[in-house]
């Protein structure tokens, strides 16, 4: 079994719990996901099964869209509702004008310090391993991009707000909550988080985890490998050059039915044979300015 499964993960379980559940039903060992959702978070979790696990790097780098509920007046050691409260402050100083002004500063490329209770690795260990042992460790900021951040519900302001956030891979929404509180000279933490979209795969197309009872439920909702790399240009390999493709040899213009001049040097492409995805390749420039596609990720399909 090979393909992609869009799961609506409920609160209260880990992303790995979902992987184990799908692995148990399918009896397939190669099962993975494209981006962790914390136990307290819900929403879209993309599960890759079989050969699809080889394509995870081409999915996980895409943008994500989240709906986040942020509470003001308190901060926690985990930057979310599951942590211990470490500071409290009155919300009387908060104004909608200041909120809108500070939110604008989060847009674009920013430096973000990951939460100490996170899976970010430093010196070979995850940050939460240092935190649990009370070991001080320097956490350097990472570059992340916030494509858009907007208020979608302010009925409970100044106690809380709901934000819609479009961001790059590696963005911690908990850190946005924490930093927004400090920017407003207050405290804040993430109360709720729901992932709505990941790399153009949408939550509305997912299946609730509780609705997956047996293998037939998975087969019904399984997306083909071709869906995973739909953002890549397709290069169709001539059947006469099948052996070159299977052996991972360079593919020149006569080997394909696609105009290689329409592809940029260094661009990843989906290599198909008779309409079926067989590999991921990359366009390269060879000797005498010759151009070719080098297969780099072979699929057993």
209 neighbors 21 (Cβ within 8 angstroms): yes
Which of 249, 251, 250 has its CA nearest to residue 236? 251
Give yes or no: 287 in active site.
Answer: no
210 neighbors 11 (Cβ within 8 angstroms): no
Q: Round to whole Å and give the CA distance between 59 and 62.
A: 6
Which of 69, 86, 77, 57 has its CA nearest to residue 228? 57
Distance from CA of residue 181 to its chain's centroid?
Answer: 25
**What residues contact 70, with CB distance under 8 A and at least 6 apart?**
160, 161, 162, 163, 176, 177, 180, 181, 188, 189, 190, 191
Residue 289 Rama label (left phi>0; alpha psi -120 to 50; beta): left
Strands 74-76 and 85-88: antiparallel
Count of beta carbons in the 10 Å neighbourhood of residue 153: 13
Active-site option among 17, 38, 77, 287: 38
Helical segments of 12-82, H only = 15-26
Q: Which residues are catalytic?
A: 38
């Amino acid at each position: 079994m090979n393909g992609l499964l869009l799961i609506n993960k409920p609160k209260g379980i880990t992303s790995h719990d979902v992987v184990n559940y799908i692995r148990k039903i399918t009896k397939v060992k190669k099962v993975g996901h494209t981006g962790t959702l914390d136990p307290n978070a819900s929403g879209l979790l993309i599960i890759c099964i079989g050969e699809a696990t080889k394509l995870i790097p081409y999915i996980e780098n895409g943008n994500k869209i989240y709906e986040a509920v942020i509470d003001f007046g308190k901060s926690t050691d985990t930057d979310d509702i599951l942590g211990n409260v470490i500071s409290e402050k009155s919300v009387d100083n908060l104004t909608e004008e200041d909120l809108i002004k500070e939110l604008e500063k989060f847009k674009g490329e920013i430096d973000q310090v990951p939460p100490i209770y996170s899976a970010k690795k430093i010196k070979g260990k995850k940050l939460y391993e240092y935190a649990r042992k009370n070991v001080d460790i320097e956490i350097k900021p990472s570059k992340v991009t916030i494509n858009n951040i907007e208020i979608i519900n302010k009925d409970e302001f100044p106690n809380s707000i709901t934000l819609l956030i479009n961001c790059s891979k590696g963005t911690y929404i908990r850190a946005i909550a924490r930093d927004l509180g400090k920017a407003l000279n207050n405290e804040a933490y993430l109360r709720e988080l729901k992932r709505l979209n990941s790399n153009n795969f949408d939550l509305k197309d997912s299946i609730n985890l509780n609705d997956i009872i047996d293998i037939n439920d998975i087969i019904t909702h399984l997306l083909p490998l071709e869906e995973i790399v739909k953002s890549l240009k397709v290069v169709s390999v001539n059947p006469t050059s099948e052996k070159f493709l299977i052996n991972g040899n360079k593919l020149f213009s006569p080997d394909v039915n696609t105009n290689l001049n329409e592809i940029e040097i260094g661009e990843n492409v989906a290599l198909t044979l008779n309409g079926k995805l067989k590999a991921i390749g990359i366009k390269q420039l060879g000797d005498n300015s010759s151009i070719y596609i080098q297969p780099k990720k072979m699929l057993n399909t």
